[in-house]
Structure 1
């Protein structure tokens, strides 16, 4: 796993351990924990994960706006996103498709009706947080 993902992932899993079963909630709790952590590595990891979730949603909704935003990324951010994409691409296989299907079924059986799509609902929580601060 890329080093930039480790703090966020650890916080995500800890959120599950303290009772946040839904994936979107665990993602959001991890983001908040990272954002408020004293370590810049945690802060960056949480912000990067929020950015990835938000821009993935934007890409599906409006690709032109996604590319306008992406054109403003720093070299370092592009490097970190490229490393993350490279890491995850090795798992884009038929076995991963099956594993994702099993995870989707598991999530739905545990009352997360959106299954694996629930991970992306973190964006709704990010927007709500943003609006509450305006």
Structure 2
């Protein structure tokens, strides 16, 4: 019997990337959520009504990491986080259809509805706890 919460997450993922198979979407989205830093960024964006400047997103993500969430302490400087966003995390989230990045304006915005993102983040948290 399938878990209705996971079914809701699959429906939410299907809403993320129209035009692709659900299996591919699930793989892409969960691959993008494989990093605690990317999950933190999505949560920061969600709490900011879906859009922030890159510097603000970096500052808020670093603040969360310093507040006690698990991360490698050497990666906490704003500059290192900004570089990791630019070279790894933003590309991964964008490829999964979760965010859009305006390089000229240095702005990041969510590309999914809030309830869909919340369902995906909740499902990812449950999967992480059950492992």
TM-score normalised over the length of structure 1: 0.36
**Which structure: greater strand fraction?**
2
Structure label with greater radius of gyration:
1
- Bigger fraction of residues in helix: 1
Give TM-score scaled by structure 2 length: 0.37
